[in-house]
Amino acid sequence: MNSALIFSGAFLAASVEMVEALTIVLAVGVTRGWRASLVGVGVGLLALAVVVGALGPSLVTYVPLNALRVVIGSLLLVFGLQWLRKAIMRATGRKALHDESLIYQREVAELEKDPIPLGFDWVAFTVSFKGIFLEGLEVAFIVLTFGANHGSYGLTLIAALAAAVIITSIGLLVRAPLSRVPENTIKFAVGLLLTSFGTFWTGEGVGVDWSLSDVTIPILIGVFALASFVLLRYMRPTTTKPVTRPEVITS
């Protein structure tokens, strides 16, 4: 049960971030050419591997487990609550939906302003690198935190790799932003999972004695889901006021 939930959480969270990274890389590749863009992707992945390799083992080896649980649990908690809050606001129309097509168009328009040089295109490299590295850091954060609490990184790494393979394959096939991915629904589910795991691990870290042990996790998911649906229903506007698209949401 616990492993399945950890796998689902890591997979879904990684998928959302990878869709965002893919949108940036596709925009750069299509407008400025693929060579510098793919070099940026490669260097970004390398930098990520170094960060994960340096942080991963030291987390488990040198930091006491309870301190690790408090730090990781509270980060997951605040991260999960942020996603949940945004997902509820978007579902109720109080915040514009995260529109990958719009982000793609904005990226393309920005990139077309700069002339493409004859030599190596550093603009394409930098934008791709930043897209992969920053979105990848969020994936790495999920993989490391879930892995550290689960006791091994194998499961969460497989989940993130599976997400990478699936999202990249779809991106290569459609060669367009994945705007049909129901991102808000996925963010809602991931927000629930992160908040529940964060609550459980933080509790363990500060000394809360969960009387039902690991069974508490699905109970927390159920309670938070129910409460979120109540909040969602309560927050729905009684008079319809359509939300326009004033800006591109990038997080």
Partner 1 sequence: MKYVRGFILFWWDFIVGDSVVLAVGTVATILLAFGLAHSAVSDAAQVVLPAAVLLTLTVALARRWS
Angle of helix 183-206 relative to helix 2-32, nearest 10 degrees?
A: 130
Q: How far is the CB of 221 from partner 1 (least distance, A)?
A: 11
Give whichever of 184 and 199 is closer to partner 1, judged by the CB atom.
199
Tokens coding 217: 């996790």
Nearer to partner 1, 121 or 138 (CB): 138
CB of 118 to partner 1, least distance (A): 30
CB-CB contact of 194 with 76 (8 Å): yes
Q: Say if residues 214 and 243 touch (Cβ distance below 8 Å).
A: no
Instruction: Please calculate the CA angle 132-98-32 and round it to the nearest 5 degrees.
Output: 45
Question: Can you give the binding site for partner 1, defined by CB under 8 A?
Answer: 70, 74-75, 77-79, 81-82, 84-85, 88-89, 94, 134, 138, 195, 199, 202-203, 206-211, 216, 220, 223-224, 227-228, 231, 235, 251
CB neighbours of residue 5 within 10 Å: 17
Minimal distance, residue 241 CB to partner 1, in Å: 13
Q: How far is the CB of 82 from partner 1 (least distance, A)?
A: 5
Query: Cα(first)–Cα(last) distance of the chain, in Å?
Result: 30
Nearer to partner 1, 85 or 150 (CB): 85
32 or 86: CB nearest partner 1: 86
For residue 53, the minimal CB distance to partner 1 (Å) is 20
DSSP states of 118-138 as a string?
A: SS--HHHHHHHHHHHHHHHHH
Q: Choose between 141 and 153: whose C-beta lies nearer to partner 1.
A: 141
Cα–Cα distance, 157 to 168 (Å, whole number) = 16
